[in-house]
Each structure stands twice: as C-alpha cells, then as structure tokens.
Amino acid sequence: MRLVLVGTSHHHAPVELRERVALDRERGSTLAERLADGGGEAVVLSTCNRTELYVAAVDIDAAERAAVAALAELEAEVEPALYRLRDHAAALHLFRVAAGLDSLVPGEGEILGQVRTAHDAGTTRTLLDRVFRQALHAGRKVRAQTAIGETPASVSSAAAALAEQVFGDLDGRSILLVGAGKISEQAARNLLSRRARIAFVANRTLDHAADLAERFGAEPLPLDRLEEHLATADVVVSSTSAPGYVLDAPAVERALRTRRGRQLLLIDLAVPRDLDPAIHELDGCYLYDIDDLEAIVSETLVGRRGEAERAEAIVAAEAEKFREWQASLDVVPAIASLRARAEEIREAELRKAEGLLGRLDESQRNAVEAITSQIVNKLLHLPTVRMKQAAAAADGVIYADAVRHLFGLGEDER
C-alpha cells in the first residue's frame, strides 16, 4: 500500500478557483468513500486555503488518476494548478500543513482542527490512519515546542493580546464596545474567547446597540452616556463611523478620578479615529489605533517566520519516523510468515512427542510449552529486529525476499 496526494492550495490557485473545488464535510466524506472503493483508503482535506485528496492504494498510478479526475469533475480548470506528491513527500506535506507551516499566516492554529475533522470524516485504515495521527502529533508538538502560534496574527487578536499584557487574565474584565458594527463584534468575540465580559455596547443608534448587547448579555447605551461608564470599564473598543472623536481626553481624565489608579486600555479600530490621541498621554491609559495594531501584527508575523525554521526541523523528524514506519510495512508480511512457520514446526514437533509428553502432568506439560515457545522467540528476535532495521534503511524488500527464500515461506501455496 502506498500514499498519494493530489491537491491545490493558495500557493497554486486563486480564490476563484479554490472555491469551486472546495468541499464541505459531507461531500468530502462521500468523495473519500468513493476514492477508497475497492480496499483503499482516502481522506479529503478541504479548507478555505486548500483542497487536498490523500489516497492510499496498491496501484498508486490508478489512485492518482482517480483523484485528479475527481477534482477535475468539480472544476476542469483546476488541473494545471494541481500538485501531486507520493509517499514520504506526501506525508511531509501533510505534516507541514498540520503544523501551520503551509498556511497563509505561518503557525495559524485553526488548520490542526481542520486536519482532525478531515481524518474523522475520511475512510481510513492502517496507512492513512497512521499518517494523519502522526500529522496531528507533529502539529501539536510544533505548537508546544516553538512560539510559532503564540503571537496574534490579526488586529482583533492583537487587541485581545494587548489587553492581557495590561491586565493578565481577562476573566471577568469589563469591556465597553463603542459602535455596533462587524468590527466591534469581531473584536468582542476575541475578548470573549479569553473570558472577558462584554459589559456595555454604546452606539449612536440605540436599537443597533441593543441588538449586539443582547447577543453578549451586555447593557446597551447611547453615545452620550459613554463617559459615565468609563469608570467601570477595563477595556474600551471603538469602531464607529463617526466623523470626529466620540471620546476626548478631558472626558477620560474626569473618569480616571474615580478609577483609583486602575489601568484603562483603549482600542481604536475606526478610520477616521474615534478616540482622541491625547488620551494616551494620561496616566494609566493606553490607547492603540489601527495603525499601531497593524504594526504589531506585522512584527509578530516576522517572529512567526523565525520560529518556522525550528518547526520545519520538528516536522522533518516526524516525517522521517513515518518513512521508517512505512518502510517497515514491506517486511511485516515476511516476519509474520516466518513466525507462523516457526510456530507450525514447534506445534508439529510437540505432537510427534505426544507419546512421551503424555506421561507428564499438567504443570510439566506447561513448562515444556513455555520452554519451546521461548526457544522460538529468542531465535527469531534478532532476525526480526534486523529486518526492521534493514527496512528503515531501504533494504527491507531484499531482506524479506531472502528470508522467504531461505525458510521456504509461501512455497506450500505454490
């Protein structure tokens, strides 16, 4: 059984093409079943950045043709944008994908869950089950041993990470959203995922504020009541379409008097800006606008690329382990035949000696069984180990053939 990968990704195809070969979980699962028909295995990994078909089959050329045809059925124009990888190269690619090294944003964490989902929805047996499990292991290992996924990769996650730099654990920290649009909501969700509490939603149109506030269990406010709630908020996230400042420095300064030195983080995601830049000069206030956050994200992406070098080494080591395991599959049938043959001989010899053994009691018979089994196991231990080592060094097939020849394995069938 060998492994083949056929697919396309953001490196090879624009979004207009990728979206035409994208498959949801159900359709991916159906396609995997179809490709695995006849004793093979298949997994379909389809995300917004890639659609990849992993197929394990004995006839690898036929499997590759079937996979290409399946994608061409979805969109004929995709064929020039397809890549085809086999065995070790296919496994290495999957490991890099799972580790986020092939992603648009290096180290992004979402892909690991998508690989897991694809594995669950696929038709897997020995080979694909192993390669996907090892890919998930490699992805987790990269995240644990490098800092590739630790830094934020978007403006809203950078805002949440900044809040953690000021307050530490955000559990129960009070958030005041100014503006009820998509950007506010996205930033709010990021803060919520870190257990912060959306306490207030302020907007020029109170109905819009009420809609968003209801979703977060917050209190809606008109913009003119913003100042009075600054005293209790820890983080202010603003993204209105107001032409001028919705909050100026004197208003914040007045609110600071009742805060007893508590820090206040203000995130201004609006263009033109909502928050007076002079607020940043106030003691205990930290104001970041969209440019500041984008500069931070760019910097963290540079860091991610640096960490990617370390991640590549981890992934390469995991791919090598997989190669060794896959190579050992070449000698497994020979080892199994050899052990079966040895066991057959042992049992036959014991049967021949039945006349002598018949006079032994139960415990003596058990002792004879144990001793003969030990002799067989010890005799076969070293050849088994050596064959596996030879398989890892790519000589496995030669050794397996030699063993079959020397011990006459499989000759009875012929």
285 labelled catalytic = no
Whether the ω angle into residue 250 lies within 30 degrees of 0, i.e. cis, is no
- What is the Cα–Cα distance from 290 to 371, expressed in whole angstroms? 77
Query: Could you tell me which residues come within 8 angstroms of residue 209 by beta carbon, excluding any fewer than 6 positions away?
Result: 180, 201, 202, 203, 220, 221, 222
Nearer to another protein, 231 or 332 (CB): 231
Residue 43 and residue 133 in contact, taking contact as beta carbons nearer than 8 Å: no
Backbone angles phi, psi at 12, to 5 degrees: -115, -20
CA distance 24 to 121: 10
149 makes contact with another protein (CB under 8 A) = no
C-beta closer to another protein: residue 150 or 369: 150
Q: Which of 200, 288, 322, 399 binds another protein (CB under 8 A)?
A: 288
CA atoms within 13 A on the CB side of 184: 28
**What gap in Å lies between CA 111 and CA 152, rounded to an integer?**
15
Q: Rule CB under 8 A: is residue 144 a binding residue for another protein? A: no
Which is closer to another protein, CB of 59 or CB of 281?
A: 281
* DSSP code of residue 123: B
Q: Which of 15, 48, 295, 316 is catalytic?
A: 48
Closer to another protein by Cβ: residue 61 or 281: 281
Q: Examine residue 9 and tell whether it contacts another protein (CB under 8 A).
A: no
For residue 119, give Cα distances in angstroms to 115, 116, 131, 134, 261. 6, 5, 10, 11, 52
Question: Taking the complex as a whole, how short is the minimal distance between the CB of residue 147 and another protein, in angstroms?
Answer: 6
Q: List the interface residues with another protein, window 289-308 (CB under 8 A).
A: 292, 295-296, 298-300, 303
Window contacting another protein (CB under 8 A); options: 174-182, 185-193, 278-286, 373-381: 278-286
Asked if residue 152 binds another protein (CB under 8 A), the reply is: yes
Q: Please, are residues 90 and 103 in contact by the beta-carbon 8 Å criterion?
A: no
Q: Which is nearer to another protein, 54 or 288 (CB)?
A: 288
* 231 is a site residue for another protein (CB under 8 A): no
Among 13, 42, 82, 158, binds another protein (CB under 8 A): 158
Supply the residues annotated as catalytic. 48
Residues that bind another protein (CB under 8 A): 147, 150-152, 158, 161-162, 164-168, 259-263, 280, 283-284, 286, 288, 292, 295-296, 298-300, 303
